[in-house]
């Protein structure tokens, strides 16, 4: 009985050592172990993670589509790459999302992807109009034409900010 307990304790200790060793390997592969961190601190990073994040958020257009072919390829590729799309090989510009197993919520997720990739802001009233990839193509063409003519987007590239004080001027402040 005592030998079984010792054997069990040895196996438990061995398993813990393997897990600890595996996690150390994982951290070193990612460059998060203490040695890699100290080397980075000594060298001084040129662009830290915060700087990269700020550059990404300040960038107005992450992706620039100029030609009609680029726009069409982009739209078809995001629809084909979307994880819920069925019959991916037959997706074309004029196929309805419903024919490929996508519903209105999936179309909204595709709209969000376009907004994030291209820096557009699509009004909520227009969300129901996106039923085919062609609708995305037409929207992107119009936005690119507007951007080229006026050197800005229709919304000025700014997101809407909700200020409670402006909407409800007499509301007492809580917690401040």
In degrees rounded to 5, what are phi and psi of residue 160? -70, 135
Range of the domain at 39: 2-45
Q: Does some domain include residue 98?
A: yes
Query: What domain count does the chain have?
Result: 2
Q: What is the pLDDT of residues 146-176, one digit of tens each?
A: 888 888 877 765 555 667 788 888 888 776 5
Q: Does some domain include residue 139?
A: yes
Return d(Cα 176, Cα 158) in angstroms, integer: 28
Q: What is the pLDDT of residues 6-50, one digit of tens each?
A: 556 556 656 655 555 544 565 566 566 666 666 656 655 444 555
User: Over 90: is that where the pLDDT of 85 sits?
Assistant: no
Distance of CA 27 to the CA centre of its chain: 25
Q: Does some domain include residue 132?
A: yes
Residues 34 and 74 grouped into a single domain? no
Tokens matching residue 26: 């994982």
At 80, which CATH number?
A: 1.10.1200.10
Residues 37 and 108 grouped into a single domain? no
Return d(Cα 63, Cα 97) in angstroms, integer: 24
Contact 119, 153 (CB under 8 A): yes
Would you tell me the crossing angle of helices 68-81 and 133-150 to the nearest 10 degrees? 140
Helix (H, G, I), strand (E, B), or coil: what is residue 149? helix
Return d(Cα 53, Cα 66) in angstroms, integer: 26
Residues 29 and 81 grouped into a single domain? no
């Amino acid at each position: 009985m005592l030998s079984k307990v010792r054997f069990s304790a040895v196996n438990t200790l061995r398993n813990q050592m393997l897990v600890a060793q595996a996690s150390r390997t994982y951290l070193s592969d990612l460059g998060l172990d203490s040695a890699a961190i100290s080397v980075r601190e000594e060298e001084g990073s040129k662009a830290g993670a915060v700087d990269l994040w700020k550059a990404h958020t300040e960038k107005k257009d992450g992706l620039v589509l100029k030609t009609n072919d680029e726009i069409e390829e982009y739209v078809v590729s995001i629809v084909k790459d979307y994880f819920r799309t069925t019959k991916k090989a037959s997706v074309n510009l004029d196929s309805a999302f419903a024919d490929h197993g996508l519903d209105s919520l999936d179309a909204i997720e595709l709209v969000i992807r376009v907004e994030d990739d291209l820096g557009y802001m699509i009004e909520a009233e227009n969300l129901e109009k996106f039923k085919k990839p062609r609708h995305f193509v037409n929207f992107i063409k119009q936005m690119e034409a507007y951007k080229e003519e006026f050197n800005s987007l229709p919304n000025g590239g700014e997101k809407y900010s909700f200020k409670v004080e402006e909407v409800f001027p007499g509301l007492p402040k809580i917690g401040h």
